[in-house]
Chain A
């Protein structure tokens, strides 16, 4: 918390106006917290921190939005290229159920791809860390799978698995898998050798050592890998839809592009980004719940630490 305070005090004077509200909220929230000997972040404090973290990006977004509005309304760019926010909003409400159906498809592919990538990635990381032979056999293959441009193999996957969900999920897995493996290996390897010594003198077997020492110790690394992976999974699913699909946001994007329907295109892009942001936030929250003890999360602000 002192870190946050120092952070704020370093703000330029011009930040006074927007900074004042969170600062006041912080002090009231702070007094309600700290029920025990350790200061625990209360709800008020957390909210204040969240606001404090959000107002700057919100300001920037608002500026961008205003710029867009200005350019589109004045038709500096023709509306079939840059629609007005009003047109996008209209499309959004008119085609709401159509858009939602396709959002659901992409979301489903992404989440399934991400979960599979997380499980497979963690499994592979464990194999690599625990077995020298496996490391030698698996690592080059993992690297090879990573350097193949996924977009280039997308058509092949469609040819193999058809235009259903499978090629999209496979692509999402392929693209999200690598950061999970790398972060998993780094995390599992980062265990203090003295902790492993300690575990040995306690007579703990490999499973207990993994469960109580190695895995929790790897979580901070792993969570950063998962955050990268979840945003990549969206890319995988959409690329899969580009190549051959009958539904999903990627498919809608192609259709909108073909019809020069810029409003639909923008609405679609907006929903795609929303999927990425929401999933990223879910992983962030999971991280906050799983590793509140870690240095990166102490008094940390969601979304501000990565």
Chain B
């Protein structure tokens, strides 16, 4: 998919001194300021921070959907100047086409990219099964729960096996149990595919369970206040990780940093 194969020294995502300001006639907002973040290929970076600190903005800059006001961003060794295609993006809202069935929403990815139809169809069926959407292939988005819609968006982002996956609170609308299940699935998918993942979440538990590294951001204008490497082997089991004392220590530290602003 990528035209330039990343060399050993290329980071999957490399953000240096990023500043993003939004200006309108009435207001001027600095969403993020002086953010530097580097994700090596295969890393799973989770980002936590208070609401409105610029997490979504950060992901959109990496995807080339929001232009940086200052600083440099590169993806797979190439500077980001326009919307990037070597990514799978799960938006904060499901962003489904309401006239398309679950299956066809997932296959949109293949249609837009002109991928091989039968291979894409097979992969879509795999993903549907993996995310527990079996039986709802023909359902329209309005017939699904919010969590199911978000799972469809996840399948769509995974269909083309992107080298970099950007996820903006993908499981925010899910109940705790489904969330655990999908976290476990995501952990497995990540290990199987070797994808680099940048995942934004409000849940500290999720951030620690999934990440090889947790980045904690400050309130707006968002900066990265601290980076926590997660010293737990990549293959993770929910019950095990939760009872792990390293998990507890990390979670406590992160919660302390975020103060009362965060949940979980």
Contacts and interface: CB of A to CB of B under 8 A. Distances in A.
Interface string A205-238: 0001000110011000000000000000000000
B168 to A, nearest CB: 10
Contacts of A298: 142
B65 A197 contact: yes
B58 to A, nearest CB: 14
A242 B93 CA distance: 55
B94 to A, nearest CB: 9
A38 B139 CA distance: 7
B98 A202 contact: no
Contacts, number: 65
Interface in B80-115: 83-85, 87, 89, 91, 93, 95, 97-99, 108-109, 111-113
A201 B108 contact: no
Interface string B190-213: 000000000000000000000000
A113 to B, nearest CB: 29
B78 interface: no
Given A198-B95, A202-B112, A202-B113, A295 B84 contact: no
A38 B143 contact: yes
A7 interface: no
Contact of A194 (B91, B99, B138): B91
Contact of A201 (B84, B99, B136, B140): B84
Nearest to B63: A201
A204 B85 CA distance: 9
A192 B138 contact: no
B151 interface: no
Contacts of A212: 97, 108, 111-112
B60 A197 contact: yes
B135 interface: yes
A258 interface: no
A163 B45 CA distance: 75
Given A194-B91, A197-B91, A202 B85 contact: yes
B135 A37 contact: yes
A74 to B, nearest CB: 55
Interface string A30-57: 0000001110000000000000000000
Interface string B108-133: 11011100000000000000000000
Interface string A278-304: 000000000000010111001000000
Given A38-B138, A200-B83, A202-B85, A195 B95 contact: yes
Contacts of B140: 293
A81 B99 CA distance: 53
Given A195-B97, A201-B85, A295-B142, 4 more contacts: A202-B108, A203-B112, A212-B108, A293-B142
9 contacts: A38-B138, A38-B139, A197-B60, A198-B91, A200-B65, A201-B84, A203-B85, A212-B111, A216-B99
